[in-house]
Amino acid sequence: MRKLSWFNTVTLSLGFAFLYLPILILIIFSFNESKLVTVWSGFSVKWYGELFKNEAFLEAAWVTLRVGIISSTLATVLGTMAAFVLVRAGKFLGRTLFSGMIYAPLVMPEVITGLSLLLLFISIGVDRGLMTIILAHATFSMCYVCVVVSSRMSQFDESLDEAALDLGCTRLDAFFSVTLPIIAPAVISGWLLSFTLSLDDLVIASFTAGPSATTLPMQIFSSVKLGVSPEINALSTILIGLVTLGVISASLSTKRVKTRKNLH
Amino acid sequence: MQMNWPRKLLIGIPFLWLLALFLVPFLIILKISLSDPVLAIPPYSPRLDLSNGFEGIITFFSELDFENYIFLSEDSLYWKAYISSIKISAIATFFTLMIGFPLAYAMSNASENWRTPLLMLIILPFWTSFLIRIYSWMGILSNTGLINQLLLWMGVISEPIIILNTNTAVYIGIVYTYLPFMVLPIYATLDRLDGSLLEAAQDLGCTRFSAFWLVTLRLAKPGIAAGCFLVFIPVIGEFVIPSLLGGSRTLMIGKVLWDEFFANRDWPIASAVAVFLLLILLIPIVLFQRNEEKQREHER
- Does residue B127 sit at the A interface (CB-CB below 8 Å)? yes
Residues B61 and B170 in one domain: no
pLDDT higher than 50, residue B249: yes
Instruction: Note whether residue B10 is domain-resident.
Output: no
Please tell me the total count of domains within chain B: 2
B264 shares its domain with B159: yes
Average pLDDT over every residue of B257-267: 88
CB crowding A176-199: b at 16 or more within 10 Å, else e: eebbeeebebbbebbbbbbbbbbb
Mark yes or no for CB contact A107/B111 under 8 Å: no
Q: Is B66 part of the contact surface with chain A (CB cutoff 8 Å)? A: no
B20-54 burial, b at 16+ Cβ within 10 Å, e below that, comes to ebbebbbebbbbbbbbebeeeeebbebeeeeeeee
Tell me, yes or no, whether B79 and B52 share the same domain.
no
b/e code B133-167 from CB counts within 10 Å (16+ = b): bbbbbbbbbbeebbbbeeeeeeeeeeeeeebbbbb
Chain B residues whose CB is inside 8 A of the A19 CB are 121-122, 125, 176, 179
Helix segments in B237-299, DSSP class H: 240-244, 253-262, 267-299
Determine, yes or no, domain membership for B252.
yes
Answer for the pair A202, A217: CB distance below 8 angstroms, yes or no. Answer: yes
Domain contains B186: yes
Q: Which residue on chain B is closest to A141 by alpha carbon?
A: B18
Residue A6: other Cβ atoms inside 10 A:
7
Residue A1 pLDDT: 39
Do the Cβ atoms of B214 and B134 come closer than 8 Å?
no
Instruction: For residue B276, give its domain range.
Output: 75-299
Could you tell me if B207 and B253 lie in one domain?
Answer: yes
The shortest C-alpha distance from A192 to chain B (Å) reads 10
Closest Cβ–Cβ partner in B13, B19, B239 for A203? B239
Q: How far apart are CA B156 and CA A23, in angstroms?
A: 26
In a domain, B16, yes or no: no
Q: Are residues B79 and B48 in the same domain?
A: no
Q: Is residue B9 part of a domain?
A: no
Region A82-92 average pLDDT? 86
> So what's the pLDDT on residue B72?
80
Spatial separation of the C-alpha atoms in residues B236 and B89, rounded to whole Å: 6
**Residue range A116-170, pLDDT digits in tens:** 999 999 888 888 889 999 999 999 999 999 999 988 888 777 788 788 888 888 8
Which range among A49-58, A69-78, B9-18 has the greatest average pLDDT? A69-78
> Are the C-beta atoms of B87 and B253 separated by less than 8 Å?
no
pLDDT for A72 equals: 96
Instruction: Give the model's confidence band at B53: pLDDT under 50 very low, under 70 low, under 90 confident, else very high.
Output: low
Q: Residue type at A147?
A: V
In chain B, the residue whose alpha carbon lies closest to the alpha carbon of A106 is B234
Rounded to 10°, the helix A55-88/A46-53 angle is 80
> Are B87 and B188 found together in one domain?
yes
Angle, helices B130-141 vs B146-154, to 10°: value is 30
Closest chain A C-alpha to B104 CA, distance in angstroms? 9
B207 and B85 share one domain: yes
Tell me, what DSSP letter sits at residue B113?
H
- B18: in domain: no
Are the beta carbons of A85 and B176 separated by less than 8 Å?
A: no
Cβ-based neighbours of B129, under 8 Å, separated by 6 or more: A199, A200, A217, A236, A239, A240, A243
Q: CA–CA separation, A11 vs B113, rounded Å?
A: 18
For residue B234, say if its preceding peptide bond is cis, omega within 30 degrees of 0.
Answer: no
Same domain, B197 and B272: yes
How far is residue A42 CA from its own chain's centroid?
35
Domain spans, chain A: 61-215, 228-264
Model confidence at B39, in pLDDT bands (50, 70, 90)? low
CA B225, B230, B236, B241 torsion-angle sign: negative
Assess whether pLDDT exceeds 70 at residue A4.
Answer: no
Neighbours of A108 (CB within 10 A): 22
More confident residue, A51 or B198: A51
In this complex, is the C-beta atom of B12 within 8 Å of any C-beta atom belonging to chain A? no
Give the tens place of pLDDT for each residue, B112-141.
888 888 998 898 887 888 999 999 999 899
Kindly tell me if the per-residue pLDDT of B265 is higher than 80.
yes
pLDDT tops 80 at residue B208 = no
- Once rounded to an integer, what is the mean pLDDT over residues B95-110? 93
| Higher pLDDT pick, A177 / A264 | A177
Indicate if B54 and B137 belong to the same structural domain: no
**Minimal C-alpha gap between A175 and chain B (Å):** 13
A256/A121 Cα distance (integer angstroms) = 45
Q: How far is CA B168 from CA B88, B90, B137, B196, B243, in A?
A: 10, 14, 12, 42, 13
The whole-angstrom separation of Cα B200 and Cα B182 is 29
- A111 in Cβ contact with B274 (< 8 Å): yes
The mean of the pLDDT values for chain B is 86
- Give the model's pLDDT for residue B1: 47
Is B252 in CB contact (< 8 Å) with chain A? no
Give B44's strand partners. B37
Q: Could you tell me if B46 and B134 lie in one domain? A: no
Q: Kindly list the residues from chain A whose CB atom is less than 8 angstroms away from the CB atom of residue B15.
A: 85, 94, 98
For residue B270, CA distances in Å to A93, A210, B259, B281 come to: 34, 17, 9, 17
CA distance A141 to A133: 12
Same domain, B84 and B195: yes
| Angle subtended at Cα B163 by Cα B159 and Cα B164, rounded to the nearest 5 degrees | 120
Lowest mean pLDDT among A35-44, A57-66, A134-143: A35-44
Q: How far apart are CA B125 and CA A243, in angstroms?
A: 10
Q: Are residues B43 and B141 in the same domain?
A: no
Among partner residues B128, B145, B176, which is closest to A243 by beta-carbon distance? B128
pLDDT for the residue A71: 97
CATH code, domain carrying B267: 1.10.3720.10
CATH topology of domain A61-215: MetI-like fold (1.10.3720)
Q: Does B106 touch chain A (CB under 8 A)?
A: yes
Indicate the SS3 state at residue A43. strand
Whether residues B102 and A244 touch (CB distance < 8 A) is answered with: no
Q: Closest-CA residue in chain B for A200? A: B129
